[in-house]
């Protein structure tokens, strides 16, 4: 099969340029797939493959490719499996969050960063009258962006705690607590390993917090 395109030889490093219809052709077989990354410690490829197949395959089969930098490319033979993975919120694999996003052309695992991720948050002890969709969505939108409220919470089957699925920005400090009528409520981020309770940022524990080290250097600790 002949590949269309041309080479720009205007400098020492030639640039290969492909027309739009050629790009659409080579992208076509990759569109029914997602990019996956595990938050936290690295999980070996074989263990990741086995577990993803167990929890994601319902109708067809999946193919998994290690893209380097702890990213995986997962393609689906059945569209329903693909839709379910994107629609059902965050997933746990071996007690770690799996971040999932649609595949985009020219994805580069070495330069990609995970800033926004959907996580489950738990709020314990909240008075039952606040188990209201609008109220809980309002709270979730102050923590991040509310995606959904756990259906068991709304059916009042879990009076001990509230579960919300919220998209948070890991590049900013995460809310640790809030107050309603002088009562303090703690926000727990389910499965987010390496979450610093000192600065609220993801990627390190309080012992290795850069804010702490900066304060020590300035003589404030």
Compute how many other C-beta atoms are within 10 angstroms of the C-beta atom of residue 133: 12
- Which pLDDT score is estimated for 143? 93
Give me the count of residues in the chain.
Answer: 221
Q: Which two tokens stand for residue 170?
A: 């890991």
- Which pLDDT score is estimated for 58? 87
> CA-CA distance, 52 to 48, in Å (whole number)?
6
- Which pLDDT score is estimated for 56? 86
Q: SS3 of 121, please? A: strand
| Domains of the chain, each with CATH number or no CATH | 6-102 (3.30.70.330), 116-190 (3.30.70)
Q: Phi/psi at 37 (nearest 5 deg)? A: -145, 140
> CA-CA distance, 26 to 163, in Å (whole number)?
42
Diameter of the chain by CA atoms? 71
> CA-CA distance, 142 to 133, in Å (whole number)?
14
Q: Which two tokens stand for residue 109?
A: 């695992």
pTM above 0.85, yes or no: no
- Which pLDDT score is estimated for 33? 82
- Taking only the tens of pLDDT, the chain with its 221 residues reads 555 555 666 667 788 888 888 888 888 777 778 888 877 667 778 888 888 888 888 889 988 888 888 888 898 888 888 888 887 655 667 666 778 888 888 888 888 877 777 788 999 999 889 989 999 999 999 999 998 888 777 666 656 888 898 888 877 888 989 999 999 999 988 766 555 655 545 555 556 676 654 554 555 54
């Amino acid at each position: 099969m002949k590949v269309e395109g041309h080479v720009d030889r205007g400098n020492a490093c030639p640039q290969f340029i492909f027309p739009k219809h050629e790009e659409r052709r080579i992208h076509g077989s990759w569109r029914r797939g997602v990019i996956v990354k595990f938050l936290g410690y690295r999980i070996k490829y074989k263990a990741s493959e086995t577990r993803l197949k167990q929890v994601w395959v319902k109708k067809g089969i999946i193919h998994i490719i290690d893209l380097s930098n702890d990213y995986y490319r997962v393609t689906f033979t059945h569209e329903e499996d693909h839709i379910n993975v994107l629609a059902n919120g965050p997933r746990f694999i071996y007690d770690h969050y799996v971040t999932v996003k649609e595949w985009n052309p020219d994805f580069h695992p070495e330069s990609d960063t995970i800033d926004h991720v959907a996580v489950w948050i738990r709020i314990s002890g909240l008075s039952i009258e606040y188990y209201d969709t609008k109220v809980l969505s309002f709270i979730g939108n102050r923590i991040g962006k509310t995606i959904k409220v756990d259906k068991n919470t709304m059916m009042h089957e879990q009076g001990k705690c509230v579960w919300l699925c919220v998209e948070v920005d890991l590049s900013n400090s995460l809310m640790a607590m809030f107050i309603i009528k002088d009562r303090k409520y703690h926000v727990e981020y389910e499965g987010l390993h390496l979450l610093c309770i000192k600065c609220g940022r993801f990627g390190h524990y309080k012992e290795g917090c850069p804010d702490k080290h900066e304060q020590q250097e300035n003589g404030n600790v």
